[in-house]
Amino acid sequence: MGDPRRNRKAYSGPSHPWQKERIEREIILVKEYGLKNKKEVWRHVSALRDYAERAKRLNALQGKQAEKERQDLLSRLRSLGLLQDTGKLEDVLTLQITNIMDRRLQTLVYKRNLAHSVEQARQFITHGHIMVGQHKHTTPGYIVRKSEEEHIAFVPGSALADASHPERMLKPVEAKPAKKEKEST
């Protein structure tokens, strides 16, 4: 299992640090999904890369063990909601980063209208106001399984569980006043 004091990185960074297109894509992902930093993007990119490498390796292998591993990989990706029920091993190679980002707890809390923004969803999760099933989760990057998706809710003891809580009330969209031009004197 290893020494608990010696944690390993769960990701590998980009192979080249200064690629303008990649940097722009990462910035868009960080803003769109309300991520803390690019390490969260790299962690999910590494996971997708691992799935693709396993799929390529298993596609080339023959035998009972290879078939068992194929079924295990496909059932895992189906349970995570990354593949359809009829998905095949070749479909693993077509997975995109947005597929896995849409399965994050932070994104699902926002899409289920439990928060006004993805940033607020992140705050609710880290402060311990969100539970999945019977378990409270404080990790916004938790990948929600398909079977758990319907069980995302506020923790019953949380102040946010009350529908009349000010943060849960719909905020009216305020019209921004028109900018006035500076008058020169």
Q: What is the per-residue pLDDT across 14-68, written as a single tens digit (0 to 9) for each? A: 999 899 999 999 999 999 999 999 999 999 999 999 999 999 999 999 999 999 9
pLDDT in tens, the chain (185 residues): 567 778 888 889 999 989 999 999 999 999 999 999 999 999 999 999 999 999 999 999 999 999 999 999 999 999 999 999 999 999 999 999 999 999 999 999 999 999 999 999 999 999 999 999 999 999 999 999 999 999 999 999 999 998 888 888 765 555 555 555 555 54
Question: How far is it, in rounded angstroms, from Cα 37 to Cα 124?
Answer: 18
- In order of their start, the domains of the chain are 20-99 (no CATH), 105-161 (3.10.290.10)
Nearest by Cα to 122 from 103, 141, 140, 99 = 140
Question: How far is it, in rounded angstroms, from Cα 74 to Cα 35?
Answer: 28
Helical axes 38-60 vs 64-79, angle rounded to 10°: 150
Report whether 106 contacts 122 (CB < 8 A).
yes
Question: How far is it, in rounded angstroms, from Cα 156 to Cα 72?
Answer: 35
Indicate the pTM of the whole model.
0.84
Report whether 58 contacts 73 (CB < 8 A).
yes
